[in-house]
Structures are given as C-alpha cells and as structure tokens.
Amino acid sequence: MDVFGALADPVRRALLEEIADGPVRVTDLAGRHPISRPAISRHLRLLAEAGLVEAENRGRERHYALEPFALAPVAALLERLAPAIATGPVTSHALGALETEVRRTVRDRRTSRTGIVPRQETA
C-alpha cells in the first residue's frame, strides 16, 4: 500500500497522530479506539507496509514509531498544491466583503426596528 492509500482511512490517520508524539505500545493504541485490538494491529500493519511507521519489539510488547521521512510524498503534493490552496474559493478579500455585508445587514435591521434613519457619513 502506498502512503496516500494508508492515509485514506480515518483510523490510520488517528493512529499516526498518536504515534507522532513518540513510540506507542499496541495495547495503548487499542485502548483509545472503539475497535478491536486485532483491527488496530491490521491498521498498524498497513501503515508499516506503507513505510509510515516502524515496529520495535521490546520484550513481549510491540512499540510503533513514526517514520517522518515517509511523509515526503504528502509534503511534496501539498507544496505543489499550495498556490491553489492560497487562492482557493475563500480569499481574504472575500472575507472582508462578507464582513462589510454582515455589518450593513445588522445596521439595516436595527434601523428598521427602531425607525431611526442612520446619519450618512460624508467623505
């Protein structure tokens, strides 16, 4: 499985977030999720196959740690998409225009309830 396929599942993304803080035992990961321990182990196996995590045996326990360099393809994709993300459908100009319209609507509602006509500002 490739990195993107591994990241497609929300459980695997959650596991990665937990593992990012440092090595974690399988039993600890399983205790934090509403799915069975064997299901957690399967998700971890897929993350390992994608190269995202590395397992280390410590006695009878397995500890999983993040392999940060395995996320390089994701970082590269996000870098290529950055211009499109920055100029996405909601720009700072659009948010400013929305704020102006909201303020105007609030002002208009207040004046329609009170009957007071707002003073026109002069330049």
pLDDT at residue 112 tops 90: no
Task: Please list, in sequence order, all residues whose beta carbon lies within 8 angstroms of the beta carbon of residue 118, skipping any fewer than 6 positions away.
Answer: 107, 111
Q: Residue 104 and residue 111: Cα distance in Å, rounded?
A: 11
Q: State mean pLDDT over 49-61.
A: 93
Mean residue pLDDT of the chain comes to 85
At which residue do the structure tokens 């990195």 appear? Answer: 3
Higher pLDDT, 40 or 93: 40
Could you report the per-residue pLDDT of 59-78, keeping only the tens digit for each?
999 999 999 899 999 999 88
Domains of the chain in start order, with CATH, are 3-71 (1.10.10.10)
- What pLDDT shows up at residue 66? 95
CA pair distance 93, 7, nearest whole angstrom: 33
Backbone angles phi, psi at 11, to 5 degrees: -65, -45
């909601």: which residue's tokens?
Answer: 90
Per-residue pLDDT tens over the stretch 26-45: 999 999 999 999 999 999 99
The pLDDT value given to residue 90: 63
Please check the confidence at residue 2 and state whether its pLDDT lies above 80.
yes
For Cα atoms 27, 30, 32, give the angle at the middle one, nearest 5 degrees: 115
Average pLDDT (92-121) is: 72
pLDDT at 97: 76
